[in-house]
Amino acid sequence: MSGVDGAALVLRHEAGALVLAGDPARYGKPLRIDFAEGRAAHRRRFGGGRGQLIARACGLAAGVTPSVVDATAGLGRDAFVLASLGAEVLLVERVAQIHALLEDGLARAASDADTAEIVARMRLAHGDATRELAALVAASGVAPQVVHLDPMFPHREKSALVKKEMRLFRELAGDDDDAPRLLEAALDVATHRVVVKRPRKAPPIAGPAPQHVIEGKTSRYDLYVHRSLKG
């Protein structure tokens, strides 16, 4: 497989995990998904529980734990947070290589005592949510009360300032130029609300205006609400 500029990216097994690797000078360490250790473990223990921005945006509150479709799963970090808080989550990922990393990460987490119960609430589907969201959700058996979107936002920084891990990811995924169509598909499928993560100063996705906004230091969540979530 190749990224831009002909930079080769390869999937291989390394230290018991599937990794995506390229030129270390350009991409840094091989990319792997690990839900049991590292950043995911730290956030699970110390992230702030249901007080976290994403939990509030997705409607997790006392006595309310909606099911969530993460239609732009990426590296699965947001989905894992939601599942760790009790939500049943469907992860939809369109890039085959990232889907393979997610599949491997979930399988390893399922055999770890600290994460097995969490990842049992996570289901993975491979497909393009802009075109196949309704069918993927129907096949999964997960009720789409909340659809979470985190479209790849075009970055304007010089490439040297972009984290090497994100550079690798972007070369595979590209920018989500079809974000308006993705939002439209999500609004059609979600029964209660659509939640869109955006850089704090970025404009909303073209289309209907969000009814609510939850803002953090560097990012915000635009909320499109069909009806209230209740316990």
- Contact status, residue 147 vs residue 224, Cβ threshold 8 Å: no
Binding residues, by number, are 77-78, 93-94, 150
- pTM listed for this prediction: 0.89
Rg (CA), the chain: 17
Q: In the prediction, which pLDDT does 4 show?
A: 40
Binding residues for S-adenosyl-L-methionine, by number, are 77-78, 93-94, 150
State pLDDT tens for residues 54-109.
999 999 988 899 999 999 999 999 999 999 999 999 999 999 999 999 999 999 99
Beta-bridge mates of residue 88:
none
Q: Where are the domains of the chain?
A: 33-156+174-225
Question: Which has more confidence, 176 or 26?
Answer: 26
What region, left, alpha or beta, does residue 28 occupy, with left being phi > 0 and alpha being psi -120 to 50 degrees?
left
- DSSP state, 159? G
Q: In the prediction, which pLDDT does 83 show?
A: 96
Quickly tell me which residue has 């209660």 as its tokens: 192
- CATH number, span 33-156+174-225: 3.40.50.150
State pLDDT tens for residues 206-220.
999 999 999 998 899
State pLDDT tens for residues 171-205.
776 665 688 999 999 999 999 999 999 988 899 99
CB contact set of 113 (below 8 Å; sequence gap of 6+): none
